Amino acid sequence: MRIPVQPRVVALAVATLAAGCDQLGLGHKAVESQELPAPEALAKIGYMTTAASGPEGRKVYTRLEEARSCGDFELAMRWNRPPDVAGGPFHKKLVFLTRGIPADLPKESEVFIVGAIERGGTLPSGAGGWSLRMQDGSQAQAIETVGLWEKQEQAAQDGGVTAIVDPETPGRLLCAHGIYQGVVGKASGQRADIPLVSVLFAMDRDQNPGKDSGKRRGKRHGK
């Protein structure tokens, strides 16, 4: 996704999505970014909730599950966590993986990943797991631990706007914030290992923006 950025340097607080929830961990100092989304881009997500949580009342997006598309989720994350500024709980730059995963990406990198679901659902362990097809045709695996997955599933079953809508349907997009673990994932029907991301927060949306209501359409497999 190509997003226009503001040409000027803007002072901001670095914010990150806390693992498995919709709260943001904010930095204590204002920092500078040259890669913030431009105002006309942010106008597209004017429907999303913000709070004046940053220095001098700077607003950040606090209810990321409200995003109607993976593109809107990415846009909000680029505002909260611009890619040229280290921040978040790990004090790292957030790497946006929207086409593929670079071969030289260091392990333990904090990432935002988007891929089409090939297989998805609850693993035997109770964790959430997905096989993804990236935009460049490569494959990746994303796994969300049992505790975080169950928390997102419970939010979905409680009704209202939710991040998890229909996560088992092939062809839908999965967009997630997580930690890159290296080429240690498993692809269905293949012996070769593939890139693996440990998910902190995941969202599934239709590839055609506007088709999702943000409300749960089905129940988790086996429930």
pLDDT digits (tens, 9 = 90+) for 8-29: 323 332 333 333 333 333 444 5
- How much is the average pLDDT of 197-202? 95
Where is pLDDT greater, at 100 or 15?
100
pLDDT at position 57 over 90 = no
> What residue ranges define each of the domains in the chain, with the CATH number in brackets?
10-80 (no CATH), 95-205 (2.40.50.140)
How far apart are the C-alpha atoms of 223 and 203, rounded to whole Å? 19
pLDDT at position 115 over 50 = yes
Name the average pLDDT for the chain: 82
How far apart are the C-alpha atoms of 82 and 80, rounded to whole Å? 6
Q: List the one residue out of 42, 172, 197 whose CA is nearest residue 105.
A: 197
* Structure confidence at residue 2 (pLDDT): 40
How far apart are the C-alpha atoms of 202 and 173, rounded to whole Å? 10
pLDDT digits (tens, 9 = 90+) for 143-164: 999 988 888 888 878 777 889 8
How far apart are the C-alpha atoms of 221 and 90, rounded to whole Å? 33
